[in-house]
Amino acid sequence: MSESALNLLNLIINNRDDIIYIIVLLSCIVVGKYYRKITDCNEKEKFGNRLGIAIIIIVSGFHAFHIFISFAVSAGIILLHRKLQSHIIISVFMFLYLLFFRMVHYLDLPSPPGHTNLIQMILTLKLVGLAFEVNDATLKCKTASKEELEKMPYHERELAEINLKNIFGYCFNYVGVLTGPYMTYRTYRDPFMEKYAHDEKSFNACDRATLDKFKSIPIFVILYLATSYLWPIGRIFTDEFYTDESILYRLWYVWPVFFIFRMRIYIGLTLAECVCTAAGVGIYPTVFQSTPGGGPRTKDNQLLKDWQETYDFTTINNSDVYTTETCWTFREAMKSWNMCVQYWLAMNVYKRFPSRKLRTGATLLVSAYWHGVNPGYYFCIFAAPFYVAIEDLTLKRLKASGKPFPLWLNICVWISKFFAFSYMSVAFQLITFWRIWNYYNSVFHFGYCFWAVQYVIVLFWPKISRAVFGGGKRPEKPKEEKSS
């Protein structure tokens, strides 16, 4: 067998889990058209749940018991302990179970596969988010008058009186069960309850949206396979990478590694969005001004009077690929990445954390912990806000001149953005502390040193500018002579 064929075979073997993942999502997309045309709500819910359970068992095998145990305990807490702040109890339980789930190998138990980890991650977001939603709705209904209760949105009344069937349907519907996107209880229920979700025009909008999103997937796949073939990520784990390659090559290698990572994520997130669009989940009239993860900002039916019958799927948009790739700054790219999870973090951690000074750190900690227990996630995620602060200060100094940025300067900012992402993401993929430390040592911690120097320069730039380019002290304005 030739070396090229062997490399291709190794690529397929190493990506076996990803291939299974793609096959499952493609199957869900195909099923979507049939699912959204089921008119009986009970039958539709049963079909979605049966398929969701089947997916969990197929990809997890006996490891599925982790999913069912954590669900059963959390559902029981929601149903039996509403008055005891179940949202706090469930948050603690689900995140502790996530820790146990990822460390079972220390107890000589078999480690769950990667797909089960994805299911457990999204289930954690759903159950914790649902507990907060139930708590908020219950408090709102308790203080509402009879008239206010009648005018209240249906989903809030359902949440206040939620039952096991509702919780089960929300957690185990096949749409989003494997990898998201995260959606609120209302987003899950609206396709069953809203009339516009069942008309012919919305069905056509679903087909168009699915096709439009799916068109980009072959491009991502080709770029992923080509880059993985030319610059395999496995090379960074070998001893030869550190002994035979130059420091410049090792430093440059973070670019293809992060490019491969991005293409892989884009494939998964876009396929997950296609599952939603094919099933008619997350579709709303454009006049409702939906946001990723949160859904409509308003559902005022008065807006439908002048409505042009156009729909959007903004609610289930995981990532804005075009903006992530083309925007100039790191901050803007961060906002366009994994937006549904960012919504969950904002609503359930950042806005609810009691200390304003610590809420940013708490949000980052929860995000890193949710991704995993290994140091790589913390190296990557906690480095981001420091770079954002440096970037913000740099741009502030550059904008102080009042002149528009020339194209070459925007390109420099863009290159800096992607270098920062690439340098940080290496830690995310190397995972363990010693692998991360070994790589950063091999490039003399160039990224961190460069950003530290950049910060010092931009912090003292006004003084440095006057000292280097002259001018000394700013000339004082001449005093006006007093009129005699």
Catalytic residue annotation: 338, 371
Strand, helix or coil for residue 469? helix
- What's the helix, strand, coil split of the chain in %, to 5? 75, 0, 25
DSSP string, 196-221: GGGSHHHHHHHHHHHHHHHTHHHHHH
Q: At what angle do helices 216-230 and 3-14 cross, to 10 degrees?
A: 120
Q: CA 307 to CA 286: how far, in whole Å?
A: 8
Q: What are phi and psi of 312, to 5 degrees?
A: -140, 165
Is-contact 58 24, C-beta < 8 A? yes
Q: CA 24 to CA 18: how far, in whole Å?
A: 10
What is the chain's alpha carbon radius of gyration, rounded to the nearest angstrom? Answer: 26
Is-contact 423 410, C-beta < 8 A? no
Q: CA 262 to CA 257: how far, in whole Å?
A: 9
Closest CA to 91 of 349, 382, 346, 338: 349
Is-contact 85 135, C-beta < 8 A? yes
Strand, helix or coil for residue 243? helix
Identity (one letter) of the amino acid at 408? W
DSSP string, 27-73: HHHHHHHHHHT---HHHHHHHHHHHHHHHHHHHHGGGHHHHHHHHHH
Strand, helix or coil for residue 423? helix
Q: CA 186 to CA 133: how far, in whole Å?
A: 10
Residue 413: C-alpha distances to residues 45, 395, 425 (Å): 48, 9, 18
